[in-house]
Structure formats: C-alpha cells, structure tokens
Structure 1
C-alpha cells in the first residue's frame, strides 16, 4: 500500500495545469483553462481544467478526474503506476510496500540491464551517424530507403560494427559488467571446450540496429538486419528473451504509436520494422509491428489497452497471407474489431509508403479496408469453384465467427456471411451455436481440471475492487447478478424441475444466451461454483471460509442478510421460500437477461446519437443493425416475463 502521506505529497506537488500543459496547449478562459481534448478528436475546445479545484473535465467525451486520473488515462497506467510516474516527475519517493532483499536485488539487476541496453543503443547510434563504416554502409542503406535523419534519431536506429567483439570490449572498458552484457543478449558467451578456449563475441555484427522500446520508452531489446545477401547469414537477428525483454509481450513501435492509437481508436498492424518506420514517417503514426514473429495473445492485449479496432496490413504475397491468417482469429477472440488491407501485388507497406504521398497512403488504407469475411472469400476466390473447397472455406468462416465473444457482432457477421455465401441465416446460426457450445464445454472441462489455487492466482486482478465499484449505469444488472448468486449458494442443489436443479437451470440458461456476469468478483465466484461438487452446505462453507477474504465476506453478507426478491417487475417483494422457488428463479433469470439486453440497448442508443451528431453514416448503419437485433431480443424477454407474472 502507498501511504496516504505520500499520495497527498504528490497531489500537493503536482500542479494539474502544469502536468496537463505538457500534453495540450491550455488557454485561459475565466478562472479555468481550456484546450482541445487529448482523448478524442475535436476542433472546438471542450476540455476544461480547473486549477482551483485540481480537476479536469471534457464535456465532449466525458472523461474527468484529478491529476492522477489524467495520467492514468493518458499514459494508460494503473493507479499505482500513475503515482510512481508523478512521484518520479516531482522527485517524491513512492514505495507501495517494503521490498524483500531478493526483490530489491532483482529490481536492481533489471534496472542495470536496462542501463546496459540504453548504452548499447547510444553506441550503435553513434557508430551509424559518426563512424565512417557506419555512415558508408548503414546510413547509406537507410537514406536510400528514404528514411530521414529525424526518423532515424527518433527511433534510435544504429549500426553494429563488423568486428567480432568491438561492442563488448568497448562496453567493458566503459565499466559495464560482462555478466550483464550476456544477460541482455548483447554478448554471447562461448564456454571452453575441447580444442577451444573460452570466449565472447558480439551478438550483433555488421547489422542495421532497431531498438525495441517498452511502453515507458526504455530500450529492452534489439532487432538487427544484415545487409549481406549470403544464404549462410540470417537476415534478422533479435535479442533473446531476458528479464527485461519478452518478445511475445512486446510490439515494435508501440511506445511511439500509443497516443496516436488511443486518439484514433485504431491500430495498423504490420510485419516488419521498416514497415513501421515508413508509415510513421509518412504521417500514419498509429502503427506497430510484431517484429516478424507470429502474433501472440499478449501482443493483442497490449493493443487492446489503447484501441478496439485493428487493421491488419498484408502485402500481395498469397502464400505469406495464408501462413499468417490465424492472427485474424486471435484478434477477434480478444473482442477486437478486425479490418484487413491488402497491398497490390509486389508491394508491401514499406515500399508503398516510399512511393506515395501521405494523402495517397491514407486514402488507400481507408478505402481498401474489408472485414475478415470479404478477405477470406477474396483470398480463396479460385477455390470457391470446387464444392469441397467451398465447403471447407464456409466452415472456416463459421469457425471464425464462433470465436467472436460479442453476440451482437456475431449476429451481424452471420448476416454478412449469409449474404455473401448464399446460405440461410438459420443454418449458420445453428452451426455457430453448436461450435460455441462445444468450445464452452471444453473450457469448463479445463476449468474443472485447474487447481483451485491456480484459479485464484489467475483471477487475482478481479479482487482489486469491490462488486459495487465501477458499475454506474449497471446497478440493475449487478443486483440481478447478486440475486442469481444467492439462489446458487442457498438452493443450488435443490430440485427446480423433475430432473433439473436450481444450479443446472441457472447455468444452462446463461450458457444458452452466452451471458457471463459483468462484475469481476461475482464472475469468479460463479465460475468457481461450477467447479465445485457436494451439497449446498458444502458449497456454502467453501465460499464462507474462502482464502480470499473479500470473497468470504461477500458470501457471508449475501447469505446472512434478510433477503427479498429485488425485482421492479414484481409489485411486491416476495420472501424467498422453497415453495416459490421455481417461479422466483425462473423470473430472476429472465429479469437478469432483460436487464443485460436493456443496458446494451441504452449503450447502443448513446453510440447512435453520437454517430448522428458526428455524421458517421457507415458507423450509424452498423449500430442500427446491432440495435435492431438487441431490441428484438429485449422484446422477446419482456413478453416471456409478462406471461409468467
């Protein structure tokens, strides 16, 4: 825990107008300051800062808070990270708890490795820009590719000497430990062997160097490109994974692109380092690269922190596209929107950006985006003539649709798929539902096989706030979730119908409409309940004596307070009695579904209103499709509820 004294010291030292003034140009308006909002695009300033109150408020997008909240939103940091960010800015030490000696040693080692990496970046950069060989080979190559000195310096590009150990010897002479040079992967250690003495060598030799940065801008690794055409020489060599660098959790260019991605709510995803550099230099700054490796879930989640849409840029090579098309499914599985742009044959983002103006590039990217259904169909156009291959493609598209977690988005894509592939929506819907149920069953089986302690560790983040926190606008949904959890804990194993228990009915009803609790704590309790065995008493004791104190306290409060049905659709509150169990549980499930759908309808209505105000016709059409579907679902739930009342 960070002490309240430290927090107050930071708030006292951090002038909100000074901090925000580093990100936007503030102008005086009465007692306040105004600017165009840094969180969304606007031409008329609606972002207001009140120095006297120490708060900011945007009347356009609604973001508001104090100086800590601003840093959290703008830098995409947690509360503790934002405090440390401001503490570092104002030289206020921030410790959230006392480190163990082992933790302190590990932190110091990581810090030392980062210092070594930053030394290496400066060494390679200096060699590129000042040494004759660096200029003749590395700088000539980069300038021939059209890169300006400004972009070279901004991204910290460099060149590695061709000699065996020039960098290692220079770094050691400068006082950097050999152990850390090896740990970062900059130096390779060769142990003594038969006929060979122990030795060391630079990992990167005679290569153009691309530093890889963390989200906070620290150099964590490198990619090195050889300019030789020899088949014996790998074209690219990357830093190995280390205590400071994990390639599966890093994206090249994200440090420079994150604010542009956040503001535009879209991220262009490319393959190579030079693709990023060329597009960025051309003014397309919301671009990142997976550094030539297969895209990972962790990398997708990094993008998800900043935007909800990914635009994947492919070159014209069919074989390369087919080999990497799995990344589309992975992005969709994380709940992100996916568009695809394919460059003309023989072109890639780098070459296209070098031969076209910024406006031409932007026009091409905006006018050639297609969804994954169009993309897969166009990619397999020739194969569509073969009935067997056509069937295989249709199944592939259906499997991709089934991955999408959002039911509305799935419904829209089913309609698109039906229209383009000339298949009835009902057939597609049934097949998607079948696949999702099969996948859900597999997940449940895996969850049951997961040890309880591991499950708790996986869900640790869910316990950082209470169930009631952060749920404004969802109070009705939250109440219904508590209601259903109460029935599970109190009567879960009681019979509801002849062959169905209360728990089986509730779990099955939610699975049927692919619903999950929205509150993280209640969701984890629900998932953990599914894994348990035994009677109601055994299950209640499990939660009331849970090792997680917040979960235990919640279960105690839920079961020990006088409980009444808290549903507005009933004229009077009814006491929970087993004689009314069937009626009340059935209604509770229906009301929960109705509340979730109503909340979604309200959200979509707000999005539609904003789209109308901003004249976004294509977006309006998409929102209207979703809203129509959800209103039909809402009406069906309401009719069923009226029938039971």
Structure 2
C-alpha cells in the first residue's frame, strides 16, 4: 500500500496540464487549455483542461476527472500505478508497505504481465552490460551500429543469451509465475506428450532486444533481432499479441518522441527500430516506427493526438513502395497532412542519419519532403510513361486518395494541383471525385441497412421527446454551487413567512450574512429536504463535512480522497461552463456572462426553485388523494390551498407568473 502522505504529495505536486500535455497537444484557451479528444476520433477540439481547478473534461466521450483519473482512463493504469507514474515523473519518493505473497497473488493479470515484462527488460539490459557473452556479442553489435552508451541506456536495449532457458529459469527463481511468462510470449511452453516434464524455451534466445513501450513508458513487449546467419530463423521476431501488447495499436519510440512531436508539430514515420534509434541519436527526436507492420488507424490516432502533420520516410530502394502508399490513404482519412520523403539509392533512415551531420539530415528532410500528391503523381507517372490506360488509372488512383480527405477546401486545392501535374481538366477530376463519392455512399448504405432502419425509426418518432428531470438538474446545480463557491461569504436576502395586518401570508425579506455552504445546508435542513440522487447525496455530505472542517478547503485535495466514479461526476459538473469556451464566442462578438457574478442570487434562486418543485409535487400527491369521493377531504383541501398560496408567493419572488 502507498502511504497517504505520498499520495497527498503527488496530488499537491502534479500539474494536470503538464501530465496531459505528454499525451495530448493542448492549446491555450483563456485560463484553460483545449485539444482533440484522446478517447474518440474527432477533428474539432472537445477536450478541456482547467489548470486552476486541476480537472479535465472530454465532452465527446463524457469522461472527466483529475490527473489520476486521466492516467487510469488513458493508460489503463490501476490507481496505484497512476500514483507511481506521477511520483516518478515528479521525483517523489514512494513510501509503501511491503506486499505480502497473498497481495501479490491478488494483483490482476494485466499488472502481473506488466511486471514480468519490466523484469525481462531489466534482465536483458543487465545481461548486455554485465555478462561476458552479453558484452562480446550483444554490446558489440550495438556498438557496430554506432549506438552510444547513452542511446543504449535510453532505449533500454538488451541481449538474451543464446541458451535454451536461461532467462526463463532466472525469472522463475525470482518468483515470477510461468503462466505470465507464457502469456507475455517471453517463454514458449511445450507439454511433453509422454507425460514427462514440461519443456520451457526462451522465445528470444540469442537475440539483441528492443523493448516496445507504451506512450507512458510501460514495457508492452519486445522485438528481437537474430545475430547469426540462420536462414530458417526470422531476422526480427516480435512478442506475440497479448492482453498488454497489440501491435496494431503501438508505435515504437512513441514514449521518447511524444514531447518532440508536439513541440515540432510534426512526426517522422519510419519502418524499423534502428531507424528510430539512429534518428534520435542524431538529434531528431520526433520519430516513431510502425515496426514492420502495415500502418493501422489506431497507430495513426496515436500520432494525431500530438500533431496533425506526419512525414513518411521511405528507403531509397524500398521494395513495394506502391503498396506502402496504401497507408497514406489511411492517414488522409484521419484528416492529417502528409508528406513523403525518400532517401538516395541504397540509403535508409538508419544509414543516412548515421553517415550525415544533424544539419545535413535536417536540410535533406526539408528539401526532399514532398506533399503526398506531388510524390504519388511523380511515382505513378513514371510507371504509366506513355501508356494512356495506365495514365488514366494513375489519375483515378490519385483522385481516390484525394477523396479520403475530409476537409472540402483541401480536396479542392489538391484537385487543382493534380490537374496541373497530370495536365488534365479540373472538371474531369471533379466528375471522378463525385463518382467515387457516390460509390462510397452506396457501399456504406449496403453495409449498414440496420443502422439506416434504426435511423428511420428515430426520425419518425418525433413525439418521443426526453423529459428533463427537474429535481436531478436542481440537485446538480446545488452541488456545483458548493464546489465553486462553498467557502465564499455572501449577503443573502432570506424570506420569512409572516401574516400581515389583514391576516394574509406574506414573505418578508431579511438580510443575513453566511457562507454559501451554510446557507444551503441550513435551508435544506429547515425544509427537511434530502437529495434523491445517490451520487449527489454522497458528494453533498462529503462536501458539507469538508467545508465545515477546513478553512482552506481545496477541490483538488477533496477529490484525492474520493473514488473515481465521484471524481468523474464532479469533473462533469465543474467543467460544464468550459464546454461553451470551445465555441470561441468572443470571435463572434458574443460575450457570455461569467460565473461568480451574483452568487447569492444564484444560490437563493436555486433553493427557491427546488422548494417550488417539491411543493408542486406535494400538491399533485394531495390532489390524487382527494379523488375518492366517499371520504371527507376538507383538511386535505385546506392543505392544498396553503401550499398553492405558498407556491404563488415563492414564484412571485422568482419573478415567475403562474397561470
């Protein structure tokens, strides 16, 4: 267990905007920051971060919370993992009690797999640096590639001994379970058919090791390169798919590159591990690799969270270059800007960055990065040469790529450029673009008949309007007022019910000074009103207790002591007004009224509205009770009349006209 003092220190030290900025490109928006949602595929920012409140809200997915909640949602950390990650980031020493064997066994399967993977990374690194064979074989290979000691350490490179079960046996001796070694793919287990002892093999026997890390730095799996000339063995071997490693959702180097990608507002995409490492060592840090797999939408979205610009780097003699261009269309579909750069014949990103200075590499990338349309046109035109049919196919291929772009203005500019390069009229290209659009729409309609029918049902049922739950909204507003202004002192105009000279009931104003939380608590107590929504009730009592006990009540500290479900609810409440900042109203000469203006009036009106609602509901119940004609309802009717009179007075105070 992590000590409370450590948790408190983490919450006090961690800056939400810094932590989220490691994963999402944020832009200043007033006193807040905004960016693209890291949880959904979107093109307009709906993700808000409040440095003042230290909370975030994603309006597209509905998620929200504090710094720990973000890491739990985004990186799928457990609560202790999120605290440990922040402690490491801010150099906070963790105080925790030793875990018992039972507690270790209770750790969930994913966590156990992470622990095994992290142990394996340390083992392979130590083997590389501290064993004679590791130094003679693994370290020599990396040195031959030109990797420095600092680079080897930064990327946690390692070596697995060329022995059948050296790693597996060491891990088992250290107490790691065989089932997790097998699940992560580090160990291959074969049952003996004769019923004898189970055979265990190290998957990466005799290979240099490249740990594959998540965006937050957790070890997900490994890539291993063989050093012998064994033609039967694969040159590169990756960890198999597991609960923690999905190769289609991972980019090699993203952990080291994320800050540079956001800062440079561009990402270089290469193919292999050594391409990434050599580029990084040369000083170009905004580089990631697809690790030999075909590019996937999930991998593109990882980059899209950090930048809109991607430059794909191809080898000078890249075989199947045309096939690789399919990945370009996927990038375009995500609304990103794509450039392509090829290296001279016989060179790749690894060799080119190794043999040239930083300045030369940067200059080459700047001078030779072509817009995708120029690159694709020049490549395909060479292939088509003087063949008119191939030329027509080339034009159709380019227009097909343009059709993937969601932005209409960009599509139009690219059509104009394509017309110029291919010497063909824009009208023909627009025609082709329209045909592709129609075909895509028809295909989509065939694929989703169910969704279409569901849409028709919804369209035809316009009468099914969702009713607003008035009590829910009013209770939510009370929680919001307590969170935002609970400790503020205000002058309230209280209403005292009295009889005037003619015997009529009237509400007489009486000014009182109190803190917002005191006013709300006393009014609800006086009317014996209890919140009905379970989450609001929990938050309400915890808030009243916290505001009553602490003069320096802080929302961030308060949320640190709540479970994540309540934290998410509080974030949704507090960030409600931030949603409207996403629309840039000031640019349209619309200036919304700021919160904090007329707090006392807002509190009083909310409580009065809740009273009116509950009175009306009570009247409805009493009226239903009078429907039995056999009973005497004089007392009930008198009670109804009193409630109606009180309701009229309260609504008059709220400046509402009752029919």
Q: Distance in 2 between matches of 1:163 and 1:303?
A: 39
Which residue in the other structure is 2:205 paired with?
205
Partner SS, residue 312 of structure 2: strand
Alignment partner for residue 68 of structure 2, among 79, 83, 101? 83
Which residue in the other structure is 2:449 paired with?
448
Which residue in the other structure is 1:131 paired with?
131
Return the offset for 1:79.
3.9
Which residue in the other structure is 1:468 paired with?
none
Return the offset for 1:540.
4.1
Matched, 1:398 2:399: yes
Partner SS, residue 14 of structure 1: helix
User: Aligned ranges for residues 159-178 of structure 1 at < 5 Å?
Assistant: 159-178=159-178
Return the offset for 1:196.
7.9
> Are the counterparts in 1 of residues 110 and 244 from structure 2 also a CA contact under 8 Å?
yes
Return the offset for 1:225.
0.4
Matched, 1:412 2:413: yes
> Are the counterparts in 1 of residues 384 and 391 from structure 2 also a CA contact under 8 Å?
yes
Return the offset for 1:11.
11
In the TM superposition, what whole-angstrom CA distance separates every residue of 1:321-347 from its partner, at most 9, and x where no partner exists? 123111011111111111000001100
Q: 1:235 to 1:106 in 2, by over 3 A?
A: farther
Point out where structure 2 has 5 or more consecutive residues left out of the alignment.
35-47, 72-81, 95-103, 474-582, 589-659
Which residue in the other structure is 2:12 paired with?
14
User: Aligned ranges for residues 188-199 of structure 1 at < 5 Å?
Assistant: 188-193=188-193, 198-199=198-199
Which residue in the other structure is 2:345 paired with?
345
Matched, 1:117 2:117: yes
> Which range moves more in the overlay, 428-437 or 283-292?
428-437
Q: Distance in 2 between matches of 1:12 and 1:168?
A: 36
Q: Distance in 2 between matches of 1:159 and 1:301?
A: 32
User: Aligned ranges for residues 242-321 of structure 1 at < 5 Å?
Assistant: 242-321=242-321
Return the offset for 1:431.
1.2
Query: How large is the RMSD of aligned CA atoms in angstroms?
Result: 4.0
Q: Distance in 2 between matches of 1:262 and 1:281?
A: 19
Q: Which structure ranks higher in relative contact order (CA pairs < 8 Å, sequence separation ≥ 6)?
A: 2
User: Aligned ranges for residues 70-109 of structure 1 at < 5 Å?
Assistant: 79-80=64-65, 82-84=67-69, 85=71, 88=84, 89=86, 108-109=108-109
Q: Distance in 2 between matches of 1:71 and 1:362?
A: 37
Q: Distance in 2 between matches of 1:446 and 1:218?
A: 38
Point out where structure 1 has 5 or more consecutive residues left out of the alignment.
1-5, 25-37, 41-45, 49-54, 94-103, 451-527, 554-597, 604-645
In the TM superposition, what whole-angstrom CA distance separates every residue of 1:173-195 from its partner, at most 9, and x where no partner exists? 01100111001110011122269
User: Aligned ranges for residues 223-622 of structure 1 at < 5 Å?
Assistant: 223-380=223-380, 381-450=382-451, 531-533=454-456, 538=461, 540-541=463-464, 544=466
Q: 1:213 to 1:319 in 2, by over 3 A?
A: same
Which residue in the other structure is 1:153 paired with?
153
Return the offset for 1:544.
4.4
* Structure 1 stretches of 4+ moved >6 Å: 9-12, 16-19, 21-24, 55-58, 70-73, 90-93, 104-107
Q: 1:10 to 1:388 in 2, by over 3 A?
A: farther
Return the offset for 1:441.
2.7
Q: 1:107 to 1:249 in 2, by over 3 A?
A: farther
In the TM superposition, what whole-angstrom CA distance separates every residue of 1:466-517 from its partner, at most 9, and x where no partner exists? xxxxxxxxxxxxxxxxxxxxxxxxxxxxxxxxxxxxxxxxxxxxxxxxxxxx
Q: Distance in 1 between matches of 2:197 and 2:434?
A: 64
Q: Distance in 1 between matches of 2:372 and 2:115?
A: 43
> Are the counterparts in 2 of residues 341 and 370 from structure 1 also a CA contact under 8 Å?
yes
Q: Distance in 2 between matches of 1:234 and 1:219?
A: 22
Return the offset for 1:72.
9.0
TM-score w.r.t. the length of structure 2 is 0.59
Q: 1:69 to 1:436 in 2, by over 3 A?
A: farther
Partner SS, residue 221 of structure 2: strand
Return the offset for 1:372.
1.6
Q: Distance in 2 between matches of 1:536 and 1:223?
A: 52
Matched, 1:65 2:63: no
User: Aligned ranges for residues 42-57 of structure 1 at < 5 Å?
Assistant: none
Q: 1:47 to 1:167 in 2, by over 3 A?
A: same
